[in-house]
Every structure is written in C-alpha cells, then in structure tokens.
C-alpha cells in the first residue's frame, strides 16, 4: 500500500542537540510538507517542497532545516536554535488539486 | 492569503445526536476545501473534499459538508454521531489551480474537538 512513513514515532532531544525526523513517501507525489502541531494551535507549516532540490520556508521555519535530495524523502532537522521544540510533527505529501496525505507523526520531547 | 476559522474549539454532544462543526474561510480567489479527522497520537485522515461540482459533499463515516460560496463556509455535519466519532476535526483550504496563487499551500483551521458522550 502507498503511504507516508515517519520515523521514529517518539524522539527525545537533549539541550543543544540537533535531531533529524525522517519522512518517506511511496505515493510518487511531487510536493511534501512538514507541520508542527501544538495543543490548540492547529497545524503550522514549517517547510514545504514542490520539487526535488527545492524547498520554501513556511510560517515557522526558524530553528528548522530540510533537504529534498530525492523525490520520496524529505527529512526535517530540528536544530539547537529551536528553543521550544517539544511538539507533534507531521509530514505530508500531495499532488496538484488533490488532498494532502499524512504520516502518523513524530512526537519530540526535550530531556 | 487565505485563512480558515473554525468557530468552535470544542463541541460536546450525546451519542446519536446530530452535530455540525463550523468552518469559514477567507480568500479572494476560488478555493478547494477539505475536512480531516485526527485521532489521538495519529496523523490526519481525509474525511471529504470539495474541488468542484455539487456543493453538497459526502465523505466517509457518514459525514457530509456543504460548500456555501456566498457565506464562505464549509460546515461539516453528521445526522447521528457515535462514540467512535470522538476526535479532533480540521478544516483546510487551498487555492484553486490557476487562480493566480500558490496551489501547493494548505491552510488549516485550529481544529474542533468533538466529544461524543454516552
């Protein structure tokens, strides 16, 4: 079955440490997205990528970085510059005019 | 830029009662509209979508929504809810392709927590 795989499901970060969240899709979608979800805040867009080797900042990109070297992969790095990284992170993908698909999320916590 | 407002952050109802979750959007051009459901610690699952055509859209799990362009609304309804419908519901909007804006960005509302009580 086609879908989006996010790993790990739970992740812990120490102060001053960078961590990378994985997102892989086998839906052959061009566009991929990263969202951050906090209670009562809905989904806020961090970064998105429309094609390989290209990506754009979303609404809350500070403290995050991404790469898009392959169509099926869009990893997100939460850097030490992100002062409040504890959240639920969702990866998505879509084609033109079609609904967005989502992975099952990664919950990041600070030790 | 488009925006989405979900007017109720929480909606408690009794089992077998009808429910309506409200969603209003703001955009200067034509849009596509979506409703998603999220169960705890999971991703979002598509309930239904409006791309074009009939303004009454039927989705999974007995949900439906009506697109009202004049009122810029896309309210979600179910005539009789079950305990298993307890979840958070998100309304989302993207610009229509060829509307002159970016079609890739999806803007979400802040969500409505539906709690179905026995």
Q: Which of B34, B44, B110 sits opposite A40 (nearest CB)?
A: B110
For A22-36, write each residue's pLDDT tens digit. Answer: 999 999 999 999 999
Give the pLDDT confidence of A66-106 residue by residue, as tens digits: 999 999 999 999 998 888 999 999 999 998 778 889 999 99
- Predicted confidence at residue B72, as pLDDT, reads 93
> Which positions ≥6 away from B109 have C-beta within 8 Å?
A42, B4, B5, B6, B23, B90, B91, B92
* Residues on chain B bordering chain A, Cβ-to-Cβ distance under 8 angstroms: 9, 32, 34, 36, 41-46, 49, 51, 90, 92, 96-97, 103-106, 108-111
Contact of A20 with A77, CB cutoff 8 Å: yes
pLDDT confidence of residue B102: 59
* Nearest residue of B to residue A108, measured between CA atoms: B41
pLDDT means over runs of 10, chain B (118 residues):
90 98 89 92 92 91 94 96 96 73 77 96
> What pLDDT shows up at residue B100?
55
Enumerate the residues of chain A whose CB falls inside 8 A of the CB of residue B111: 40, 42
pLDDT band of residue A13 (cuts 50, 70, 90) is confident
């Amino acid at each position: 079955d086609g879908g989006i795989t996010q790993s790990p499901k739970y992740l812990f970060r120490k102060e001053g440490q960078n961590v990378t969240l994985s997102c892989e899709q086998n839906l052959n979608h061009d566009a991929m997205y990263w969202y951050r979800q906090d209670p009562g805040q809905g989904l806020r867009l961090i970064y998105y990528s429309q094609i390989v080797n290209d990506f754009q900042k979303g609404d809350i990109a500070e403290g995050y970085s991404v790469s898009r070297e392959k169509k099926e992969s869009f990893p997100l790095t939460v850097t030490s510059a992100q002062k409040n990284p504890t959240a639920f992170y969702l990866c998505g993908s879509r084609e033109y005019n079609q609904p967005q698909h989502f992975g099952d999320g990664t919950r990041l916590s600070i030790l | 830029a488009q925006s989405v407002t979900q007017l109720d952050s929480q909606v408690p109802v009794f089992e077998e009662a009808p429910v309506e979750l409200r969603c209003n959007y703001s955009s200067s051009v034509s849009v596509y509209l979506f409703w998603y459901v999220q169960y705890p610690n999971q991703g979002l699952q598509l309930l239904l979508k409006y791309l074009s055509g009939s303004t009454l859209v039927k989705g999974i799990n007995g949900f439906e929504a009506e697109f009202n362009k004049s009122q810029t609304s896309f309210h979600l309804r179910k005539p009789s809810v079950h305990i298993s419908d307890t979840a958070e519901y998100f309304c989302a909007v993207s610009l229509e392709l060829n509307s002159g804006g970016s079609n890739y960005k999806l803007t979400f509302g802040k969500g409505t927590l539906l709690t179905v009580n026995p």
